[in-house]
């Protein structure tokens, strides 16, 4: 199985400040079509996870442009340019390249 | 707007079969651009992908090796729904279960509300 490792486990952020979450995969997630099959999800308190980013850097429909994703080899980063109160929750990365799909352990973003 | 509505018992006895149904509205279970996934979440295991079914001129299934011997995911085209069966359950199968749509390779874009299943005698 591809192992997904996220850091940090917890991230306290002041509103208006940027935030960055890292995810590392144990194998390349590069598909033959040139895209990295890495997604980012946010699970807000009491809710189901919701898709933020697919293909490492493509924002899902309706996702604010303060969210961005990037890739460098097997290292992936989710950035929030200016954190808002509604961004609190647990962020997960997931590899969508191989069976079984696997998730990171999550990063809990909290407001200072 | 696509919605996924889960139903099924919230309590299952050890060694019995866990059965859940995901009713799909706003999309077709036979769409050839989507896959219907089952994912569960527990404090001890986090988010765990269990498997999926999808239609590409015929039906395909893909299961996580960790549950492959116990799982069955089946479409019901007459009711536009997908079912999950997990056999020989143990307390380790206690979790919140989600039905989730994957649209092509564009991520898991629609999640059901999640249903808690407890395995206990």
B78-113 residue pLDDT tens: 999 999 999 999 999 999 999 999 998 899 999 999
Those residues whose C-beta lies under 8 Å from the C-beta of residue B5, and which sit 6 or more positions away, are B22, B23, B25, B112, B113
Best residue in B38, B45, B47 for a mutation probing chain A (most A CBs within 10 Å): B47
The chain-wide mean pLDDT, for chain A, equals: 97
Residue appearing with tokens 């509300």: B113
Q: How far is A70 from chain B (nearest CA, A)?
A: 16
Residues from chain B contacting residue A94 (CB–CB below 8 Å): 47, 49, 108
The sign of the dihedral angle between the CA atoms of B55, B58, B62, B68 is positive
Arithmetic mean of pLDDT, A13-21: 98
Residues of A with CB under 8 A from a CB of B: 1, 31, 35, 37, 39, 41, 48-51, 53-55, 58, 60-61, 92, 94, 96, 99-103, 105-106
Q: Which two tokens stand for residue A58?
A: 């493509």
Rounded to whole angstroms, the Cα distance separating B82 from B12 reads: 20
The pLDDT, as a whole number, for residue B51 is 98
Confidence of residue B34 (pLDDT cuts 50, 70, 90): very high
The chain-wide mean pLDDT, for chain B, equals: 97
A43-94 residue pLDDT tens: 999 999 999 999 999 999 999 999 999 999 999 999 999 999 999 999 999 9
């Amino acid at each position: 199985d591809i192992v997904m490792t996220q850091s940090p486990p917890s991230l306290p952020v002041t509103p208006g400040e940027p935030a960055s979450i890292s995810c590392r995969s144990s194998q390349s997630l590069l598909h033959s079509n040139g895209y990295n099959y890495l997604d980012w999800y946010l699970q807000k308190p009491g809710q189901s996870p919701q898709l933020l980013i697919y293909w490492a850097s493509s924002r899902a429909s309706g996702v604010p442009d303060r969210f961005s994703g990037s890739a460098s080899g097997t290292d992936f980063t989710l950035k929030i340019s200016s954190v808002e109160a509604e961004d609190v929750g647990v962020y997960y990365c997931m590899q969508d390249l191989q069976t079984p799909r696997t998730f990171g352990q999550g990063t809990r973003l909290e407001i200072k | 707007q696509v919605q996924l509505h889960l139903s099924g018992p919230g309590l299952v006895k050890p060694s019995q079969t866990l059965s859940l149904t995901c009713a799909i509205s706003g999309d077709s279970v036979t769409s050839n651009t989507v896959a219907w996934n089952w994912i569960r979440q527990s404090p001890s295991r986090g988010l765990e992908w269990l498997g999926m079914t999808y239609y590409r001129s015929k039906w395909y299934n893909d299961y996580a090796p960790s549950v492959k011997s116990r799982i069955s995911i089946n479409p019901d085209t007459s009711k536009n729904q997908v079912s999950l069966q997990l056999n020989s359950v143990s307390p380790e199968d206690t979790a919140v279960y989600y039905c989730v749509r994957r649209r092509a390779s564009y991520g898991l874009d629609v999640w059901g509300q999640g249903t808690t299943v407890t395995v206990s005698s």
